[in-house]
Structure 1
């Protein structure tokens, strides 16, 4: 994660970094004014918007891949980035160049002028709509919440709501009902909504007074015959249900049972886009093979196999639970390299990992706003007293974790995308998926 938002020495990136003084401020008035000055580029492409607590990045990546395979020109905007800001912007699976992004940021700067105090995320969302203005479809991942997020400025062709969990409670509310209500607000009256967590999100949709066609994972599509295994934690299943013309055999590049629910949501959203599009599209059975080629860096990514090393950006309780369940598929003796942002409570994260972890390795971090590793060690002593704990340099922690992994299940690197981004940027670990992204390779080239 490049916290300063500078990954290219250009005027647009430098201006974006300067905008950090604006901080994080939810609201739509500033970004709508900015987009109006830009000629409302968000009104040109069809838009699919994806909100949720966990899984929205993976789901949006799968949806973009399916639509790409169907022959559309597809832009995909996500957050956060790990090393380079341009990771947030992809067209048909390829990251845009730093120069393209810098030119877009300069245009946003010029339109904002000196009187519009836009936030960094508003700048990046506006740049996405500008970069995608001539494409067929923009798949937009919400940044925070939904109702007041800078991506929520269009009339989307479909809205997707992934899993809902307690996160960012100071901003979104401290109950699942309140959080869900913020997230379902990206839906529009009469437009289809795909729900991965309908027991929570259906009630929220009613509370905000929207009547929409709803497609539900678990009812319209069920995930069955799950198989997970092999060196890369290969994940396969069959999708069945009334929304499908025939059962779909799927294989995912993104491992884990939770990713199968994300895939089911992406397939349902794909079908809703097909139904709304003015021309015929390939049936889902013709495009689902692309789910086996969706690259999503640092999300249950197997980056080494001898010993196995997995990198996963889980940073809240629900995400860590999903990671621990996948780890348990291979056993319960893992070495964990852990970092945690200082705005997170590490105790529930560590408790989720404790049953599958044999040792914790806590590197000293260069990034600001990270938990001190010695204080993390105290929390681990309380929550996972059976586990070995060590604090050291990043290089030393990774070397020793690999050494110990030869007598256990492997190494898991997790807790914070900020920490993972720091280690990727310094070359302590290497993400093949991220490298291919930044080298400009589309999934079918890999």
Structure 2
């Protein structure tokens, strides 16, 4: 074993990420084989989809934890610390454990290179670390979020108890395809033969998922058809709704997560829970209600009240649509200052066209990523919809500018890349 500290471990994993995204399962399968295949010990619920994966994962993990099970959760990306990706019963892995497990994996990674294998990416090494950690910690269940796509994602080596696909919309076209059918086919790659599937997808995407489930003999539960939800009320503090499940009706559920899209995510988590119950997992109605109250930073999170400051990682068009509706639902009548910064490879102009018309002023800034080299182009797009547009490259100056533009009853919304949201959240939390 190599002895490394936390900073050295992150540097080592980051260095492996410098080669970029390379989808495929060959590298991680070989690495896991050398590590003793720890993923085969785990009872996993595998969650994919375009939007809502993280929220659904957090809710489902919360329910399992409240039901008394030792529950692991592997999600990405993180906001402030790499340790956030690995949690057991809500507690992050320690920095020392990251260092220890990276040191344990490093000889195997070096041996793979010496034996002529293509080196695993940073995400693949981080996923292998997750399997090692949760296997060693003997979690009862692992809620496992797909990184990108599904079929060729590093997480897709598990044999899960259940596969979940939240929804399908256009994102990561350079890796997943240019049409909903193509993207849905990649997402449906996590569906396993004989393993149940839950989805909240609709339209063409649902057709692809239904066809895949038929071919793989996977029992399918569709949210919106088999499991439904009924809106009750909402406020600036949260929302209330009822979920009509396969087995129970959960009335007047209250959650602090904002936006009606979170009702769909909650219904998806409940559908997953009820399928797990059919598999013999004991989960009470009280555990469901308590677990759905989980919090998820950076998703329509209220940071201040006067002016009202909200951060949300709406990094694609569907996310922007959900954000705009949520702002109108929860905070009607407030004038908005929009602060936006996005990566070059996202649907930037469609996101601006969705959000800018609702703003009185727009501040365009640069997320802390080399993939945001053309950040100023968003200002050109914003000026098609609003006259008052400002450019502030540094996130600190963008925050200061936005707050100076807002009155005490106004709304300041920071959105776009999670690199931006992480920076803003850190500043506002000081």
Within the candidate set 68, 79, 84, 1:82 is matched to: 79
1:319 Cα deviation after fit: 0.4
Tell me, in whole angstroms, the C-alpha distance in 2 between the residues paired with 1:411 and 1:159.
37
- How high is the TM-score relative to the length of structure 2? 0.91
Whole-Å separation in 1 of the counterparts to 2:82 and 2:283? 33
Aligned length: 414
**Equivalent position to 1:266, from 266, 269, 283:** 269
SS at match of 1:399: helix
SS in 2 for 1:171: helix
Q: Aligned match of 2:145 in 141, 148, 151?
A: 141
The structure-2 alpha-carbon separation of the partners of 1:281 and 1:350, relative to structure 1 and needing over 3 Å to count, comes to same
* TM-score using structure 1 length: 0.88
Counterpart of 1:216 in structure 2 is 222
Q: After superposing the two structures, state which structure 1 stretch, 49-58 or 400-409, moved more.
A: 400-409
Name structure 2 gaps, 5 residues minimum: none
Counterpart of 1:46 in structure 2 is: 43
Q: CA deviation at 1:204?
A: 1.6
Q: In the alignment, which residue of structure 1 is the partner of 2:302?
A: 302
Correspondence 1:252 to 2:255? yes
- Work out whether residues 195 and 201 of structure 1, in 8 Å CA contact, stay in contact via their aligned partners in 2: no
Partners in 2 of 1:104 and 1:237 — Cα distance? 42
8 A Cα contact 1:251 1:289, kept in partner? no
Structure 1: 4+ residue segments shifted above 4 A: none
- 2:409 and 2:374 map into 1 onto residues whose CA distance is 27
Cα offset for 1:365?
Answer: 5.2
Write the deviation string for residues 75-119 of structure 1: whole angstroms up to 9, x where unpaired: 100111122111111101111111111212222222222424000
Among residues 164, 168, 171, which one is paired with 1:164 in the alignment?
168
Q: Partners of 1:364 and 1:202 in 2: how far apart?
A: 36
Q: Secondary structure at the match of 1:355?
A: helix
1:101–1:204: structure 2 CA closer, same or farther, 3 Å change rule?
same
Question: Displacement of 1:314 after TM fit?
Answer: 0.7
Aligned twin of 1:444: none
Residue of structure 2 in register with 1:338 after alignment? 340
Q: Find the aligned partners of 2:49 and 2:128 in 1 and give their Cα distance.
A: 21
- Does 2:59 correspond to 1:62? yes
Which residue of 2 is the match for residue 27 of structure 1?
Answer: 24
Distance 2:100 2:218 in 1: 39
Alpha carbons of structure 1 residues 365 and 118: separation in structure 2 relative to 1, 3 Å: closer
1:381 — aligned with what?
Answer: 383
Contact 1:395/1:428 (<8 A) preserved? yes
Q: Aligned-pair distance for 1:347?
A: 1.2
2:184–2:208: 8 Å Cα contact kept in structure 1?
yes
How far does residue 171 in structure 1 lie from its aligned partner after superposition?
Answer: 1.1
Distance 1:286 1:206, change over 3 A: closer
1:204 counterpart residue number: 208
Q: Is the 8 A contact 1:401 1:411 kept in 2?
A: yes
Contact 2:366 2:372 (8 Å CA) reproduced = no
Corresponding position of 2:354: 352
* CA shift digits 1:46-91 (9 cap, x unpaired): 0000000000011011111101111111110011112211111110
* DSSP 3-state at the match of 2:344: coil
Matches of 1:354 and 1:14 in 2, distance apart? 38
2 CA distance for matches of 1:321 and 1:356?
12
Go from structure 1 to structure 2 and tell me whether the alpha carbon gap of 1:374 and 1:168 turns closer, same or farther (over 3 Å shift).
Answer: closer
The verdict on how the C-alpha distance between 1:301 and 1:146 changes in structure 2, with shifts beyond 3 A counting, is: same
Q: Which runs of 5+ in 1 are unaligned?
A: 1-7, 432-446
Report if the CA contact (8 A) 1:22-1:118 is conserved. no
Match of 1:442 in 2: none
Q: CA offset at residue 270 of structure 1?
A: 1.2
Tell me: CA distance 1:26–1:289, structure 2 relative to 1, closer, same or farther (3 Å). same
Q: Which residue of 2 aligns with 1:397?
A: 398
**How far 1:207 moved relative to its partner?**
4.3
Q: Deviations over 1:135-172 (max 9, x none)?
A: 11111100010001000111110111012100111211
Match of 2:428 in 1: 429
Q: Is contact 2:151–2:189 with CA below 8 Å preserved after alignment?
A: yes
Within 5 A, what are the aligned runs for 1:410-425? 410-424=411-425
8 A Cα contact 2:399 2:424, kept in partner: no
Q: Which residue of 2 aligns with 1:124?
A: 126
Q: Please identify, of 325-334 and 68-77, the stretch whose mean Cα deviation from structure 2 is larger.
A: 325-334
